[in-house]
Amino acid sequence: HDDLAKPHGRGTEVRTLIWDGAGWSDPMNLTDDQQPDVAPVAAFDGRGHGLVVWERSKLTADAPPTLNRDFVRSLEIAASVWDGEHWSEPAMLTDNELMDHALQLATGADGAVMALWRTNDGEDILGNADHPLTLTYAIWDGENWSEPAAALTGLQSVINAALAMRSATQAALVYAQDMDGDLTTADDAELFYSLYDGAAWSEPQRLTDDAVSDGVPALAYDAAGALHLVWLRDGDLVWLHDSWNAADARVVRAQSTAAGFLGFTLNRAANGNLALVWQSMGPEGADLTYSIYDATADDWSADLALMSDASVEASHSPAFGGDGTLYLAYQKVATDFVTRTIEIEPGQPFTVTNVPQPGQADLVFLEHTVAQDLTLDDFSVSPANPAPGQPITLTAVLRNAGDLMAAAPQVTFYDGDAPIAAQTLPDLSAGYTTTVQATWTLPLDPTPHILRAVADPEGQVAESDETNNELTLQTTLPDLAVDLVTTVYETNWLTFTTRLVNQGALDITEPFSVTLRANDPVTGTIVGLDVISDTVAAGQAITATHLYPAAMVRMEWADSLWVVVDDGDRVAEADEGNNTSVVRPDILPDLSISDADIHTERPQLGGLYMGEPFTITIHNSGYFTATDVLVEVREGEEITGTLLYQETLPLVAPGATGTVTMSLTESAPLLVMLDPENSITELDESNNLATGEAVIVAAGPYRYYLPMLSVRGQIGR
């Protein structure tokens, strides 16, 4: 904890919180002064004591806390002990003029705890011939810390080291050394090991001797006293079990040097299980991932995610409880998405949205029960909706969603409660899946079937979740599907005609509805309803019709109109996802004209006088105003005929008409064209032509002869 009220560089203090199995205590200060305290590590000894050791600077009050040789040589090792109620006053394990740093703690099964750290003069923290590195250790015996002693001396170019302890008389350490002292040549990093027998450490022995990089070791003893070593070898994470022969190493995780595998730790449980935990890059960002070594099955799990979110999880510190539960404390940094404006050039700002930046950082505690858990990821039948009497294949995907190997897992398929087939599968490692199949012929009776796939049907596996072992599907069903929706635009109505098909395996004998909904297929207002009461046989197609007022289209009352078949889901179907179709009404004009709209008739004259005006009527039967409507009148019946007249109408409103007036000096066949250049988008472009005949007659006076009628209504008798 950095106390900002204290001078810069002198406010770092060690705080602790104690977990009692139900909750956390309030923070307690182990230090509260102006001496820099950093890099604490903690462990329990199994005898009720909590141990914290850390690096503490003994700088004098007048010395600035600057990262230089004087400061690093002021670093000593301090320790405090929790007795179940209180923390002891900090005790100094070292008091020298050397740099003591890079602490590690390892706990033995007998309650002994060993601390290991690096000691040198601060000139070269890795060590070299003139300034060698010493690995120093001290042992907690349940009451006191031993005097620090040198484990290994004269070390050079030590990149990293790992420590494991089984008891006060058995421990091991492994370190990685750059053989030429040049860190830019990574392929010459090799591993060395040393063993502790309760009295002294053995001379280092070389473990690897190859032409690839070997580094980042991690060590742990299991319950039987066997040693487990993992390290990165040429980018692969490899594992050596109870052996000091590097040729026995097995690849646990290939290609582990990418950004998706950062800062891994290795921890052991009392039952011999091991846990690797690291920071990985998941779909949402940086998360914590783990892998469990199942000691009973001698098997490593796949990569398993502890979380998946946009926050950044890092600085993890895992530990196993006595019951095998995995606990983690880690830092969780929220990711805030902000808007940034940058100036590309003077006077040219550029705004970027959703720029991620670190937000609030919290200390988080996670408890994970290491257990078995079988689940089914998928269950399907082929063909998907079989007919009675048809052979089928049932396929299920079994996943081991737990942390431990599933030995000989079982999966059984059922028709209702009647078993169809049972299979015992090969052992399945945690995090992996396997596919299981069975064939079966459906009975001939025309009834639906409820098929089930069940993992661990006899309940032989104690699982963390017993509710996720079964998947169910219903098959041999009818299946209504929208095949085609056609629309016809008329002056007063928009007519929807829906062709629907029962493409399922069974007849539909119960009534169902076909509705027309506005804007949404579920919550939209019902504006049309057609109830189908007749039986719809398998394979049969029928139609349903709905009328929608044209006035509503003109008002743009609905952006979309949905045809919904079996609205309310009264019919159990093989596929409920093919019951809807959407139509978005075109809010467009529709210019139209017919032969009857060319008004050249004067029956009593047999034609028109020369120069006598006549009218042509233009209709807009669409739903939107047409503007700048060009009307052309040509001679003949071809669009290439001589242009006799043209006029542009400013607008024709929906449902309204417009007229043009013209005259001729001689008779002619007429072709009237609306919007001849197709500059107006319309509902229907096929009704924009009409033909007529203009007959010009000579001017009067005319003499008309009328028939004579007798009183009796008979002609001239």
Same domain, 282 and 257: no
In a domain, 213, yes or no: yes
Per DSSP, the three-state class of 308 is coil
Check whether residue 243 and residue 269 sit in a common domain: no
Weakest mean pLDDT among 15-29, 97-111, 256-270, 290-304 = 256-270
SS3 188: helix
Q: What is the mean pLDDT of residues 201-228?
A: 95
Looking at the fold, whether 55 and 132 belong to one and the same domain comes out as yes
Residue 701: is the preceding peptide bond cis (ω within 30°)? yes
pLDDT band at residue 524 under the 50/70/90 scheme: very high
**pLDDT surpasses 70 at 445:** yes
Query: How many Cβ atoms are within 10 Å of 525's Cβ, its own excluded?
Result: 11
Among residues 583, 612, 642, the one where a domain terminates is: 583
161-183 pLDDT, tens digit per residue, is: 999 999 999 999 999 999 999 99
Is the four-CA dihedral 29, 35, 38, 41 of positive or negative sign? Answer: negative
Looking at the structure, tell me whether residues 288 and 390 fall in a common domain.
Answer: no
Confidence (pLDDT) at 488: 85
- pTM summary value: 0.75
Q: Indicate the residue among 583, 613, 648 that finishes a domain.
A: 583
Which pLDDT score is estimated for 710? 61
- What pLDDT digit, counting tens, does each position of 408-428 carry? 999 999 999 999 999 999 999
Residue 174 is assigned to a structural domain of this protein: yes
150 within domain boundaries: yes
Read off the pLDDT band of 716 (50, 70, 90): very low
Residues 355-381 pLDDT 10s: 888 999 999 999 999 999 999 999 999
Listed residues 417, 450, 475: the one ending a domain: 475
Residues 469 and 484 in one domain: no
What total number of domains does the chain contain?
A: 5
Looking at the fold, whether 412 and 529 belong to one and the same domain comes out as no
CATH of the domain at 493: 2.60.40.10
Whether 453 and 498 share a structural domain: no
281 has pLDDT over 70: yes
| Burial 119-134, CB ≥16 within 10 A → b, else e | bbbbebebbeeeebbb
Q: Are residues 93 and 235 in the same domain?
A: yes
**Residue 355 lies inside a defined structural domain of this protein:** no
- Judge if 25 and 161 occupy the same domain: yes
Please list, in sequence order, all residues whose beta carbon lies within 8 angstroms of the beta carbon of residue 401, skipping any fewer than 6 positions away: 373, 374, 375, 431, 465, 468
Whether the per-residue pLDDT at 703 is higher than 80: the answer is no
- Domain holding 624, by residue range, is 591-697
Mean per-residue pLDDT of the chain: 92
- What distance in Å separates the CA atoms of residue 597 and residue 619, rounded to the nearest whole number? 9
Q: Is 215 among the domain residues?
A: yes
Same domain, 275 and 256: no
Q: Kindly state the helix (H) or strand (E) to which residue 118 belongs, with its residue range.
A: strand 113-120
Question: pLDDT digit string (tens) for 487-505?
Answer: 887 778 889 999 999 999 9
On whether residue 505 sits in a domain, the answer given is yes
Q: What are phi and psi of 292, to 5 degrees?
A: -110, 135
> Do residues 205 and 306 share a domain?
no
pLDDT at 262 exceeding the cut of 60: yes
Whether the CB-CB separation of 363 and 329 falls below 8 Å is answered with yes
Asked if residue 717 belongs to a domain, the reply is no
**Cross-strand pairs, 318:** 328
641 contact partners, CB below 8 Å, separation of at least 6: 634, 635, 671
Residue 173 lies in a domain: yes
CA distance 79 to 93: 7
How many helices (DSSP H) and strands (DSSP E) are in the chain? Answer: 2, 50
- Per the listing, tokens 């860190």 go with 183
Contact yes or no for 618/657 (Cβ under 8 A): yes
pLDDT for position 715 = 44
Residue 228's CATH number: 2.115.10
One domain, residues 187 and 81 = yes
The answer for residues whose C-beta is within 8 angstroms of residue 198's C-beta and 6 or more apart is 168, 169, 170
